[in-house]
Amino acid sequence: MTMAGRSRIILVSGLVYLFVAVGGCRNEYHPIIVGTYSSPSGDEEIVVSESKIRFKIRLNDSNGNKALDKTYDYRVQSDGSLEPVGMTSVDGAFGVGRFDWYWDGEKITQEDTRSNAPAKVFMLKQ
């Protein structure tokens, strides 16, 4: 193999490594501002730390008004959708995962796709 051939292999290997490393870092990026976000009524909260998100919310369903207090890792997609990571199938169907969550750079929005309820907005407490 010539010197030019080896150089190309090294260059391509380095670029592949760079893309994999950058892609891995992007998944670890948590753009939500750290703090406590409160619902309009003040009785529900979302607490964001550097790498975790804690939902302290109510689940209104056919069995009544239940309180949920769960913490997850999270990621925010480029479209602003917020995904709790590490949910069980029960969490996905009946807990936090039954809602669509969004981060717009200022507030967290909860949308209930199972009902016609208006979106709930959680604002950062000052």
Domain map (residue ranges) of the chain: 1-29, 35-124
pLDDT tens, residue by residue, 17-66: 434 334 444 444 568 999 999 999 999 999 999 899 999 999 876 666 78
CB contact at 8 A, 121 and 111: no
At residue 117, the 3 state secondary structure works out as coil
Say if residue 5's pLDDT is above 60. no
Q: Which of these, 51, 58, 9, 14, lies nearest to 34 by C-alpha position?
A: 51
Q: CA quadruple 19, 20, 23, 25: dihedral positive or negative?
A: negative
CATH architecture of 35-124: Beta Barrel (2.40)
DSSP class of residue 62 equals T
Distance CA 112, CA 119 (A): 7
Tell me if the pTM is above 0.85. no
Distance CA 59, CA 16 (A): 45
- Which tokens hold the place of 20? 């994999």
As a whole number, the mean pLDDT across the chain is 81
CB contact at 8 A, 71 and 85: no
User: Phi and psi (nearest 5°) for 49?
Assistant: -110, -170
In what helix (H) or strand (E) does residue 18 lie, and over which residues does it extend? helix 3-28
Q: What is the average pLDDT across 96-125? A: 92
